[in-house]
Amino acid sequence: MTDASTGRSGFTPAYLDRVGSSFTDFLGSSAPDLLPGRRALPAVPVGELAPHATTIVAATFAGGVLMGGDRRATMGNLISSRDIEKVYAADSWSVIGIAGAAGIAIEMVRLYQVELEHYEKIEGMTMSLDGKANRLAAMIRGNLGAAMQGLAVVPLFAGYDLDAAEGTSPGRIFSYDVTGGNYEERGYASVGSGSLFAKNSLKKTWRPGLDADAATRTVVESLYDAADDDSATGGPDPVRRLYPIVYRVDAEGAVRLTDDQVAAVADAVIAERSASQSREG
């Protein structure tokens, strides 16, 4: 690489000419092959050959929002992983849960985390929650070609709205489709293969104004109900000490609950269900 092509600083013009705040746009112009949606795809569907992540749930509470996900990934009729992580902190005030092709989904999450951090460094301020939701929609839209080949990524996004009007709930939830469609949910939402069962559970146990502890119970119980009817969703595993991953986002930021905290809630759910079965027996 010559001095004329790199300039005195040693950087190529692509690094020096960019003035936008989108890291994804920068990557698309300087190294488009690194974007998940820009890679060459096989001519036949390959969805059954890749591990898929399932069942993410989110629920608001008085003061914020919670998101949880089970730990199982499947590949066709096989369990490819029992301890995959599906829920991540996107930044200090938001979280993202993945459902779909696990490898592409995790790569998309990492790119999205850099996208939000890049914006904050360039602009000197945190992106609005609506802006974050729209940026994620654009990234999902860029993966449409892979989605048509069976490698779809359909995340769930939630966060604490720093600009929420007084008297409104600061916890907000956004769901998506494979085309990048962005839909704000009210109260609770679920995605993935077990979402039908999880949402039915949330419908019965969630109500406006729940405190954080009650909402945590609601999230964990909905994942338990999903695992009870969906083979691709993993339930609590006391033997391996594997429990759902749960994040809480409130005025203090995004915090992952400890395994012991989630285990206590899951064990309480299991104990109550066992006692109920014993009484029926």
Instruction: Point out the residues that are catalytic.
Output: 54
CA distance 224 to 18: 47
- b/e sequence 126-157, b meaning 16+ C-beta within 10 Å: bbebeebbebbbebbbbbeebbebbbbbbbbb
Q: What are the phi and psi torsion angles at 156 (to 5°)?
A: -125, 135
The residue behind tokens 């109260």 is 187
CA distance 91 to 207: 27
User: Are the beta carbons of 70 and 18 closer than 8 angstroms?
Assistant: no
CA distance 122 to 128: 14
Could you tell me where the beta strands, DSSP code E, fall in the chain? 52-53, 56-61, 64-69, 73-75, 78-81, 87-91, 94-97, 100-101, 156-160, 171-176, 182-185, 188-191, 245-250, 253-256
Nearest to 11 by CA among 21, 23, 24, 1: 1
CA distance 127 to 133: 10
